[in-house]
Each structure stands twice: as C-alpha cells, then as structure tokens.
Amino acid sequence: MVEPLLDVRDLAAGYAGRDVLFGLNCRIWSGELVAMVGPNGHGKTTLLRAISGLVRPSRGEILFAGKPLARLRPDAIVARGVVHVPQGDWLFPGMSVIENLLMGAYLPAAGVRVSDRLDFVLSLLPKLAERRRQLASTLSGGERRMVAIGRGLMAGGSLLMLDEPSLGLAPIVIDQIYEVVFALKGSGRTILLVEENAARVADHADRMLLLDNGAFVWEGSGPDLMVRPEIVETYLGG
Amino acid sequence: MTIGAMYAVSTIGLSLVYGSLNMLNMAHGAILTFGGYVCYAAMARVGLPSPLAFGAAILACGALGVLIYLAAAWPLLRSPNFETNIFIATIGIGAIIENAMLKVFGPYPIPQPLAVSGDFVVGHVHVPDQNVFILAVALALMALVAITLERSRFGRAIRATAQHRSAAQLMGVRVGFVYAQVLAISGALAAVSGILVSSIATLTPVMGADPMLKAFIICVVAGLGNVYGAVASAIVLGLMEASVQYLLGVRWSLATLLLIVVIVLIWRPHGLFGRSQEERQ
C-alpha cells in the first residue's frame, strides 16, 4: 500500500476560537487531482490554510510525506513542498509580473535554475511573457489569476493547492486556466483544488470530496457525483 | 540641501519600518541620540579612530533595533491593537533610552568629535567640508538602500512583506526575521543620522526629538510607507526649511513646515505618494 503524500487526520480548525472544520480526515496520493466541492463558507479555504500553516489547527494532525506539518510556520511548510495558491490571488501589487513570479521562487531549490523555471512557467502562460514588466495592480482578473498560479508553479513543490482558480473570471478565461491545470495534472503533478462549479472538473478529477459544514459528507469520482442529482441540487445549486 | 539630506537619512528608516510592519517607531529619536553618543564615547573615551567609532555606533543601534523587535514588536504583533500598542511601547522604550543617556553622559551639550574641518570654496560661497561629508554619506546611504530594496533577494523579501504579509509567508519568507532585519537597518540609519546631526549641532540627551518629529512629518506628507516618496519629500522640505529660515527668520520655519503639512493632508489625506490602505494581512 503506497503511503499518501498528504494525510489529514481528525483535523479541527477555525478562527477566533470558533472551529469551522470538525474532525476532517482526508488522504491524497501522489499524482492525483483531487477536487473539493461544496457550498461556500463551509471550510474549504480553511482546510487549505490549515495545511499551508496560515491557520493553526485546534486538533488533529497533518502529515506530508510522512512528516507532521501542524505546528510549523508557513514558510517552513512551503520549504517542504506544499504550495498554496490562495483565493483572491494575493499578488504583490507594487511588483511587476516578473517580480511576482520571482518571489514564487524565493526559496532556493536544489539543482534548479530559477531562469529555467521561469522559462517553463512563461511557456505555459504566454500571456504573462507579454506583460512581464507590468505592475501587478494594473492587470486584468484573468491575468492576475495566471500570475498567481505561475507564482505557485515557480515554487516547484510536490503538492499544489489551488483555491477557486475560476473565481470571478469570464468563462473563456476559466477555460484557459483549466487548460493549464489539466496539463499540469497530465504531467504528473499532485493537485488539490477547491472549485465551486463541480461540473468543470468532474471529468478530470481522480476524486471529488464534498465538504459541508466543516465535514466531508461524500467522496467519489467525478462521473459518480454528477449522476447523483440529489447531491448536485442540494449542495451544488443544481 | 544638507539639512534635507540629513532628514532623508533619518526618514528612510522610519518609513521602512512603517511600510513593512505598520509600526510607528517612537523610539527612533532615542536611537538616533544613542548612535551619536556611542560614536562620541568610542572616540573620546575608548580612543577609537573615527571610522571604527562610526561603525561601532551603527552596530550598536542595529542591535538596539533588533532588541526593540524582540522586546516590543514580536510580542505585540498578534494583539488586536498592534499599531496603538507598539506606538505606546516605543514611546516608553524611547524614554528609557533617553534617560539612560542622561544618566551616563549628563545633560550638558557635548561636541561631536567626528567632524571634518576645513572649507570648500565655490566662487563666492564657502561650503564647510562637514556639509559635503554629510551630503556624501547621506547620498551613499540612500543609494545603498535603494539598490538593496530593488535588486537584492533580501530587498524583495522586505517589499513583499510590506505589500502582502500572508502572501510573503506563502512564498517562504520568514516574516519575523524580515521585521527584525528592518528594525536593525532602521537603527543603523538612525545612528548615522544621529552622528551627522550632532556633528553640526551638539550631543544632548534630547537631541533626537526634533529630527524624529521632522522625520514623521516627512513620512506623513509623503504617504506613510513610501520610502522613495519620503526621501524626495525630505529633500524638498529641507530646502524649504532652509529658505524659510533665510527669508523669514528661524522662528517661522517650524510653523511654515506644519502649515505645509496641514495643506497637503487636506488636499491628499493619504500623503503625496501614499496609496489607500491595501488589504493588509
């Protein structure tokens, strides 16, 4: 039995003393694309933040490649290879596209030249190459999203977590973003993603996890989920 | 021009600290004073040559900056009213430092031994070498800070932390370390400022109050947190102050300065170059 890359056990976490996640269990194996779906405000972002260290769990364990993450600072967790592309992009507004991308590669990675990685990211997201010196605060929504994802890719890492990559974007742009995401999955990356529109990812995800009120209520494959109208209607707004 | 440059050095540190930590360091003036005295003590009491004394002051104030981070900033960072708390805490720290200076060195003005004598003549104007020295040091420091901020990995980490702290953490930046380093740099710059100011005036335990006040005024006018804006404003305000003193007499200069601040803030509440508060996390 292969060990999971990420192993979340009995995780409880929240804000200002009130928990939002209640005893979550979740495992992700290397190479999987796992999509978390479910109504907003029910804890999906909190889970990602607990994994990346921005939120301290009140209970439970998070193991990454067998080693515990739960009490580490975010910068230490990134160093282990967990990359979190947060909801809302969180770009550095006063920096250019290139500078934002370079910040993604802030931590030195053994045996990798930053310029090589930059070339790779720009080849995947050619629109960014055109706008390399532009200030992040002047970019369009879709461009910002690409910078955010590009920045995550610059970090390398073995687990990529994307929080609502389609948020606030026009359908055509969402298609472009997902083209990149599925290409990454195809090249073997392990991806944990939060997506409001389950239908978008149902065909490509290895597994879908339905999170409701801080707990996982269902797990299965994409096609499995889409043929259950009661789930789709209740939790995913039809 | 010289005054503007001196203000600029003192202001950079303050602006950096506010920009990255959202912290108004009210101990800045005291650190400045401390730097001046350390230089004096190193030269007059220990007998070090001036470059070493200069270096000693910089190191001492850098260390003081780190101490302030450990003693005040770090414990208070998670508190809900960080900005207010740290403001009060640093007032206290400043008072402690000033009183320590008072105790050790006494209240009487002491001349700063680090001085460059001689004059430099351009046409009809005699410019004291001291002023040229101050100007040169200030410009060199400003260039150094600019290069560091823009080109180095470390400078990028500082800018990233200032612009979006949580995002910087997700990039692997040790934010606590950055804060400590920024406070250290701010301390070192304050030391230089203290030495320069006291070389023209004299050393007294309360000499830091006026430069600190001017530095704050400049920072606010420029827009809190904008380092380059602060430098530009410092130079302009220095020139203005000198002109006002020349034209209207010394007693009008502070009033004029404050009048300018009021006008600027009415016109642009965020300062000349400031941005409205971005989402700060």
pLDDT tens digit string along B175-220?
A: 999 999 999 999 999 999 888 888 878 888 888 888 888 888 888 7
Phi and psi at residue A159, to the nearest 5°: -130, 125
Say if residues B191 and B60 touch (Cβ distance below 8 Å): yes
CA–CA gap between residue A14 and residue A37 (Å, rounded): 19
Q: Which of A54, A72, A92, A101 to mutate to test the interface with B (most CBs of B within 10 A)?
A: A92
Pairing state between β A82-85 and A159-163: parallel
**pLDDT for position B95:** 92
Indicate the residue of B156, B166, B174 with minimum beta-carbon distance to A103: B156
Closest A-chain CA to B80: A16
Tell me if A186 is assigned to some domain: yes
For residue B179, what are its two tokens? 């804060």
Chain A residues closer than 8 Å to B164 by CB: 90-93
pLDDT tens for chain A, residues 1 to 238? 789 999 999 999 988 878 889 989 999 999 999 999 888 877 899 999 999 999 999 999 999 999 999 889 999 999 999 999 999 999 999 899 999 999 999 998 777 888 999 999 999 999 899 999 999 999 999 999 999 999 999 998 999 999 999 999 999 999 999 999 999 999 999 999 999 888 889 889 999 998 888 888 888 887 887 787 777 776 665 4
Select the more confidently predicted residue: B81 or A129: A129
Q: At what angle do helices B209-222 and B28-40 cross, to 10 degrees?
A: 130
Residue A43 belongs to some domain of the structure: yes
Specify the DSSP class assigned to residue B270. Answer: T
Asked if residue A188 belongs to a domain, the reply is yes
Rounded-to-integer distance, Cα B64 and Cα B191, Å? 10
Contact at CB, B172 and A95, closer than 8 angstroms: no
pLDDT of residue B275: 56
Question: With contact defined as beta carbons under 8 Å apart, do B139 and B5 qualify?
Answer: yes
Query: For residues B40 and B194, what is the distance between their CA atoms, to the nearest angstrom?
Result: 11
What percent of chain B lies above the pLDDT cut of 90?
22
- 3-class secondary structure for chain A? CCCCCEEEEEEEEEECCEEEEEEEEEEECCCCEEEEECCCCCCHHHHHHHHHCCCCCCEEEEEECCEECCCCCHHHHHHHCEEEECCCCCCCCCCEHHHHHHHHCCCCCCCCCHHHHHHHHHHHCHHHHHCCCCEHHHCCHHHHHHHHHHHHHHCCCCEEEEECCCCCCCHHHHHHHHHHHHHHHHCCCEEEEECCCHHHHHCCCCEEEEEECCEEEEEECHHHHHCCHHHHHHHHCC
pLDDT computed for residue B150 by the predictor? 85
Q: What are phi and psi of A225, to 5 degrees?
A: -65, -45
Predicted structure pTM score: 0.84
The CA distance from B274 to A215, in Å, is 44
Number of cross-chain residue pairs from A and B with Cβ atoms under 8 Å apart? 66
How buried is B120 (Cβ within 10 angstroms: 0-12 exposed, 13-18 middle, 19+ buried)?
A: middle
The range of the structural domain enclosing residue A194 comes to 31-49+73-236
d(CA A7, CA A159): 12
Rounded distance between C-alpha atoms, residue B195 and residue B199, angstroms? 6
Q: How far apart are CA B259 and CA B267, in angstroms?
A: 12
- Domain with residue A217: its CATH number is 3.40.50.300
Give the span between the Cα atoms of B54 and B37, in whole angstroms.
11
Question: Does residue B279 surpass a pLDDT of 70?
Answer: no
Tell me how far apart the terminal alpha carbons of chain B are, to the nearest angstrom: 38
**How confident is residue B124, by pLDDT bands cut at 50, 70 and 90?**
low
d(Cα B229, Cα A9) in Å, to the nearest integer? Answer: 50
In chain B, the residue whose alpha carbon lies closest to the alpha carbon of A107 is: B172
Residues B5 and B133 sit within 8 Å (Cβ to Cβ): no
Distance (Å, whole) CA A34 – CA A160: 11
pLDDT above 50 for B281: no
Residue B253, amino acid: S
Given an 8 Å threshold on Cβ–Cβ distance, is B156 in contact with A106? yes
ipTM: 0.91
Query: Looking at the domain assignment, is residue A172 inside a domain?
Result: yes
* pLDDT given at position B278: 46
Distance from C-alpha of A171 to C-alpha of A187, rounded to nearest angstrom: 24
Q: Which residue has the higher pLDDT, A39 or B155?
A: B155
8 A C-beta contact, residue B32 and residue B208: yes
Q: What is the C-alpha to C-alpha distance for residues B42 and B53, in angstroms, rounded to an integer?
A: 5
Residue A14 lies in a domain: no
Instruction: Count structural domains, chain A.
Output: 1
Question: In this predicted model, what pLDDT tens digit does every residue of B8-61 receive, in sequence order?
Answer: 788 888 888 887 777 888 999 999 999 988 988 888 888 888 888 888 999 999
Residue indicated by tokens 């950079």: B12
Contact criterion met (CB below 8 Å) for B28 and B13: yes
User: Would you list the domain boundaries of chain B?
Assistant: 2-207
Specify if A19 maps to a domain. Answer: no
Q: Quick check: A39 and A232 in contact, CB under 8 A? A: no
Instruction: Tell me if A5 is assigned to some domain.
Output: no
In a domain, A45, yes or no: yes
A79 touches chain B (CB under 8 A): yes
- Residue in chain A nearest B156 by alpha carbon: A103
